[in-house]
Every structure is written in C-alpha cells, then in structure tokens.
Amino acid sequence: MSFYAKIKDQVTGLTKQFEYQNDGTAFGHFILKECFSKIIDFEYDGTDNDSFIKDHIVDMSNDLGNDAILTNQKNREISVFQFKYSNGQLLNTNEIKKNKKFIDWILNINQEQLIPNPKLRKLIDGEISPILTTQNLNNNKYNIIFYYIDNNFDGSIKTDIKALYTNYSDRGINFQIKFYNYEELEELYDDIEIPKNNVFLKIIKNEYFIKELNYYDENLTPVKTIVTSIVANSLKPIIEEKKELILALNVRYYKGENDINSKIKKEYSKGKKSNFWILNNGINAVCEDFEVDGERLSIINFQIVNGGQTTKTLTRIVNDLYLMKFRF
C-alpha cells in the first residue's frame, strides 16, 4: 500500500475535524503532527498539539506561497513548509517563486508591499519579526529552513529550486533547503523501524580499535564496537543526504546556536590548533553491521543516538580537519 493510500482516510478526517478548505491543507497538518514533530523542535510544550499546528497552517488565499510556518525563538530559526498531496508530483518553480518573494520581503530584500492573510500576518508580527530584527539580520543570527514535500522529485525540480536561491548564497543569507518525498515521510511516520541506509565514512588510519562484547538480556547477543577518529567532512554529505532521518534515534533535538554549540563551532574553527578532539565527547551511533577496509568504514543502517549537537554544528562549518571521535 502506498503512503498516500495508507494515510488518506486520516487526512480526510482532519479536513472535517478542523474545517480545512481541502485535504491538501489537512495533509500539511497531518505531516507536521505525525512526522516532523518527531524530529524538529517547534518549542511547544502544551497538550493541544492539534490547535498549535492549526494556528501555524496558513494555506489559504494570500498565503504568499507558504503552507505552514513554524519557528524556534531560542534558536532564531524559521521553518517554512510547502506540502503537495497527490499520487503524482505537483511541486513547480512558479510556487517556489511566490514563496521566495515572501522571504525576500521579510528579509527586506524586496521592498514591494505584500498583503498576507490574517493568520500569516499574525505569525509575522508575533514570531517571525522577533527573529528577523535588524540586529539579528546584520549579525547573521537567524536561520531559515525551507521544507518542500511532494510524492517524488523526478526530473530537474530540485536543481531548479536550488537555482532560485542562488542569490541567497551570494548575499550570505543563512538558509537551508530540504526535500522530503513520501517514502521518507513514511519512514518518519512508521518510526518503529530504523530508517534503512548504507553509508561510508573515512577514518584515520591506525586510529581505531574494535572490541567484541556480549550483551546480556533474555538472550546472549554478541556485539561488536568500534572507536575511531573520522574525517569530519566525510560525515557532512551523509547528513545532507539523509537529513533528520539519520538522527531519528537521537536522544534530543539539535538546540541551535546556543552557548555550547557556539563553543563547538569556535573550537573546531581553529583548524590545526584546535583542541576539538580532546574537549569534545564525540559522536555515538548504532548500526546493524560495519566493516573496515583501510581508511573506509562501511556502515549498514547507521543511526546517531548521541552527538546530534556536534553533528549538526559541524555540518554547517566543516572543512578538512579530521579531529572527531566516533563510537558505535
């Protein structure tokens, strides 16, 4: 059964329950609640999660290309979502242009006055503006993440979308673009299973040891563990490709540019004079199997369970420095 067919009745139920204009809008509500709430910290600690999500769904007339916007004030992070609900592929660059035009406006790049709907206006005034202050904009103390969700992303659509944001890179704007197809959403939805993957890391020759132990439970299970130093930039493409799915079993969310992560960033950025390997506790991960071949560490079904803060921080700044501890 396809993911679309699996969730169709639930989405239709949300349309009726919350009086959404159509199932496409309700799909956004469903995915925020059942998938992204597991991997993104929306800073909500209340009991009525549905009402919280509905307050951040802006998909209606004058939504300016946005389906939902959520923020994390502590991290100064703005998450912009565009959802497509169908058996096929619907996302197109014309819609992305509308979405980008809105972001240009709130970043003061585009001076044209736009007219948002009341829900979007409320989010701009109450949640977005406190992040995009003049001081934060000048000091790059903010981050905008675009989440584009569609059944699939065939053809050049990803490349075309990334090309639309080229001027953001040129201007030094802090932004990320993340794509999720229905297969990845299903992995988040059915979170009993660990997302499957087969990845490779580059390790430092002769800087590792392997220990075999027995895990005592109802049955005696042999467990093999490796402790090693890895080349940090070999981890970066894994994080960029697998996104939050590689952290599905992590013990806590990424906390953004807080004091600890700022120190991680500062120490690592010292280059060859860095004390990063000595001061940082490294990354702990689990997997189903691994194999070492020279400087290549092959891993099956890799999951980072502790060290998400280090991982996400380094992904943003990493270069060729290889001072990272790793254990799983």
Pick the most confident of 89-98, 127-136, 319-328: 127-136
Pick the most confident of 137-141, 186-190, 236-240, 251-255: 137-141
If one counts every other C-beta atom within 10 angstroms of the C-beta of residue 32, the result is 26
Q: What are phi and psi of 251, to 5 degrees?
A: -75, -20
Quickly state the pLDDT bin for 103 (edges 50, 70, 90).
very high
Q: Three-state SS for 81?
A: strand
pLDDT tens, 196-219? 889 999 998 888 999 998 877 777
Q: How many helices (H) and strands (E) does the chain have?
A: 13, 11
> Which CB contacts under 8 angstroms, 24+ apart, belong to 6-11?
6/186, 7/34, 7/189, 11/85
As a whole number, mean pLDDT of residues 118-145 equals 96
Of 146, 148, 28, the closest CA to residue 91 belongs to 148
Structure confidence at residue 206 (pLDDT): 84
- Rounded to the nearest integer, the mean pLDDT of the chain is 85
pLDDT tens, 132-142? 999 999 999 99
Q: Which residue has the higher pLDDT, 266 or 42?
A: 42
As a whole number, mean pLDDT of residues 264-274 equals 62
Q: Which residue has the higher pLDDT, 236 or 14?
A: 14
As a whole number, mean pLDDT of residues 257-264 equals 54
Rounded Cα distance between 39 and 178, Å, is: 13
127 within 8 A of 71, measured Cβ to Cβ: yes
Rounded Cα distance between 171 and 21, Å, is: 38
Quickly state the pLDDT bin for 254 (edges 50, 70, 90).
very low
- How far is the CA of 112 from the CAs of 32, 66, 106, 124, in angstroms? 31, 17, 10, 16
Structure confidence at residue 153 (pLDDT): 94
Residue type, 81: F
pLDDT tens, 151-188? 999 999 999 999 999 999 999 999 999 999 999 999 88
Asked whether the predicted pLDDT for residue 14 surpasses 80, the reply is yes
- Which of 56-70, 99-113, 277-291 has the least mean pLDDT? 277-291
Structure confidence at residue 124 (pLDDT): 97
Rounded Cα distance between 258 and 255, Å, is: 7
Token pair of 148, please? 């584009």
Rounded Cα distance between 31 and 13, Å, is: 14
Asked whether the predicted pLDDT for residue 233 surpasses 90, the reply is no
Structure confidence at residue 323 (pLDDT): 46
Structure confidence at residue 16 (pLDDT): 95
Of 302, 60, 53, 91, the closest CA to residue 181 belongs to 91
| CB environment 236-250: b (16+ within 10 A), e (fewer) | bebbeebbbbbbbeb
CA angle 212, 237, 165 (to 5 degrees): 160
Q: Is the four-CA dihedral 209, 197, 239, 129 of positive or negative sign?
A: negative
pTM beyond cutoff 0.85: no
